[in-house]
Amino acid sequence: MNGNLHIRPADDAASRKRFIELPWRLYRNQPNWVPPLRGALAKVLAGRTAFFDHAEMALLVAERSGAAVGRIAAIHNKAHVARHQDGVGFFGFFECEERDAEAAQALVARVEEWLRGRGLKTLRGPASPSMNAECGLLVDGFDSPPMALMPYSPPAYAGLLESAGLCKCKDLYAYLIEDADVRPGTAPYERLERLAGALGRRCPGVRIRCLDMRNYPHDILPFMGVFEEARRDNWGCVPLTEKEILETAAQMKRVVDPELVLLAEVDGRPAGAMLALPNINRGLAAAGGRLLPLGFLKFILAMRRPREMRVFGVAVLKEHRRKGIAARLFLEEILRGAARGYRLAEASWVLEDNQLSNDSIRGAFGTRRYKTYRIYEKPLGPGAG
């Protein structure tokens, strides 16, 4: 590559702006990339979210002849280390010129050095900035844009990270479900209906209801509490703090469709939940990363009649599992989504070794994964990067 390579910290407003702007140049000819909102991203990169109450992050930019050619973030998630006792540090927000393996290797090496300086033993990622946010590198399914809060990257990025010594740790799967596959009369619909009917006979006290927006601050907390409790033992899980829960709830309120957020109650107490959001990426693509001066109007117009949604998951508390509650929630989600005009749903993400969830989705809907995201890992040996 032309020009000497330099790795510089992005630790002030001007350098963070360069960090933010790089993907607009790298993806200028890539129609499937969805630009993030610059303002929201700037807030995260400046460390002004609840995540940084228990984490620290260093931003790095690779330059050649004064031009940015790559970027990366080194992340010390202290809550993860305290919970899992595994000495894992993370990297995220990785972008790089596709042919500049030297820059990718140098960026990763600097992250390794930074993490070793904090006593960490393993590098894992991408997580931007955590597994509770955008994570994974797209390695299969490049022919369509990502759904809400899922990342996009070109095929070359896998080779860049692997050239820096990173290897596969886990794959995350995304499944696409079309409305034609789950209409009344189809095998998947009838299968879910039978399971839901069995629920009614075994557990007659179950009530499924949607989110009450008139009482949003009070209603969203038990819903999120079910998800937090149900996922507590999942691989890599770090429970959200109360402050993070409230912050997430406030962010959701801006884009939520209450008919897609369902709570299952047994005798008036939360037992299960299902979360789906409209695919806001259509609006973000129209806005181009800015809400002002006209981006907000473009976002609203693009989202006026959403046709796609992302299903984040279904959660059932341990004492209520194997009673058909998950099937009842899925069936209700299908009916409500179809009534509101949604035609596509992405179920994501699912760990590759979560056999129960993968088999359930494939068996219930007859679908297969259409995108794969990869988490990479590398041991941090001694010495400087």
Residue 316 belongs to domain with CATH number: 3.40.630.30
What are the structure tokens assigned to 280, written together? 């806001």
- Give every CB contact of residue 336 below 8 A, 6+ residues apart in sequence: 210, 259, 260, 262
Q: Tell me what pLDDT residue 199 has.
A: 63
Statement to judge: residues 334 and 301 lie in one domain = yes
Judge residue 135's burial from the number of C-beta atoms within 10 Å of its C-beta, 0-12 exposed, 13-18 middle, 19 or more buried. buried
**Residue-range definition of the domain harbouring residue 311:** 176-372
Rounded to an integer, the average pLDDT of 297-315 is 91
User: Is pLDDT at 321 greater than 50 in this prediction?
Assistant: yes
- Could you tell me if residue 384 is inside a domain? no
Are residues 346 and 334 both part of a single domain?
Answer: yes
**Percent of the chain clearing pLDDT 70 (strictly above):** 97
Clarify whether residues 356 and 227 are in a common domain: yes
Average pLDDT over residues 18-42: 96
The better pLDDT of the pair 351, 362 is held by 351
Residues 229 and 290 in one domain: yes
Q: Structural domain tally of the chain?
A: 2
Q: Please give the model's pTM, rounded to 2 decimal places.
A: 0.93
Average of pLDDT values for 72-82?
98
Please tell me the predicted confidence (pLDDT) of residue 385: 37
Task: State the pLDDT confidence band at 233, using cuts at 50, 70 and 90.
Answer: confident
Are residues 216 and 340 located together in one domain of the fold?
yes
| 28 occurs within a structural domain | yes
* Mean residue pLDDT across the chain: 92
Judged by average pLDDT, the poorest of 26-30, 234-238, 357-361 is 357-361
Q: How confident is the model at residue 286 (pLDDT cuts 50, 70, 90)?
A: very high
The pLDDT score that the predictor gives to residue 330 is: 84
Q: What percent of the chain has pLDDT over 90?
A: 71
Residue 26 within any structural domain of the chain: yes
Give a yes or no: residue 385 inside a domain.
no
271 and 150, same structural domain?
A: no
What pLDDT, on the 0 to 100 scale, is given for residue 265?
92
List, for residues 135-190, the tens digit of each pLDDT value: 999 999 999 999 999 999 999 999 999 999 999 999 999 999 988 777 778 877 77
The predicted pLDDT at position 152 comes to: 97
Do 202 and 245 lie in a common domain? yes
Least confident of 195-204, 238-247, 276-285: 195-204
Residues 25 and 150 in one domain: yes
- Residue 285 CB partners (closer than 8 Å, separation 6+): 34, 35, 145, 302
Interval 246-275 mean pLDDT:
92
Q: Are 150 and 280 in contact (CB under 8 A)?
A: no
* Residues 188, 115 share a domain: no
Helices (H), 164-280: 187-202, 216-230, 242-253
pLDDT of residue 383 exceeding 70, the answer is no
Pair 147, 217 in one domain: no
Residue 110 CA to residue 153 CA, distance in Å, equals 21
User: 2 versus 105: which is more confidently predicted?
Assistant: 105
Q: Quick one: 155 and 220 in the same domain?
A: no
User: Is 352 found in the same domain as 302?
Assistant: yes
